[in-house]
Amino acid sequence: MVEKTALIVGATGAIGRKLTPLLSSSGDYAKIIILHRRATPFASLAKVEEHVIDLESLSGVPISDPVQTVFCCIGTTQKKAGSTQAFQRVDRDIPIALAKWAAAQDAGAFVTISSLGADAHSKSVYMRTKGEMEQGVAQADVRSAYILRPSLLKGERDEFRLAERVGNRALAVIGPLMVGRLKKYRAVPTETVAKAMLACARQSEPGVHIVESDAIQDLGA
């Protein structure tokens, strides 16, 4: 019988809402712990245990069971967050803090979402924030860390994102033509990313692994 426990932050996001039921229905984990700022619709799912906490302070996480895998799906936009600083707290600081927490708890694997083109030296606030997050996660000393870099996401969103909507429409036309080195620029369904996250957790190879968008498509197929 599987006795492993997984923890998810960002369960209601575009990817998290696909990953949570996927983990609940899989045989990989006996318990799925959700940490969230407010109650989620997933508390009634099999194996799910939910805790409403302040995600910017993980020191008081009320968990007694050892956690083998931590999934971080949290993310926002500058517009929704209200400022660059607030955006960076969510997309950079919380994932880094969670990775450090995972290392302190001796979790075997940490799997998180970044972005295609992430670069800590980028002039783009978004890409630089994602790059800085990657650096922090890599330095957190988790035994096995997987950082997924999807291209534009296809799937439900809580908020309207014009640039993403326009990009997805364009990629829907040219996507089939994007092969070889161009494959990683195809739009990726959120469900595919969720499946790829679980595939990475199953691998749990030691070290820090950057998973580009084309590899995500293959892992989540």
**Which position has the higher pLDDT, 193 or 37?**
193
Query: By mean pLDDT, which of 39-43, 67-71, 128-132, 177-181 is the weakest?
Result: 177-181
5-151+189-219 has CATH 3.40.50.2300 classification: no
Is the per-residue pLDDT at 30 higher than 80? yes
Quickly state the pLDDT bin for 220 (edges 50, 70, 90): very high
**Which position has the higher pLDDT, 175 or 34?**
34
**Which position has the higher pLDDT, 186 or 184?**
186
pLDDT value at residue 166: 47
| Percentage of the chain modeled with pLDDT above 90 | 67
pLDDT value at residue 115: 95
Is the per-residue pLDDT at 54 higher than 70? yes
Contact 140, 173 (CB under 8 A): no
pLDDT value at residue 56: 74
How large is the average pLDDT for residues 98-123? 95
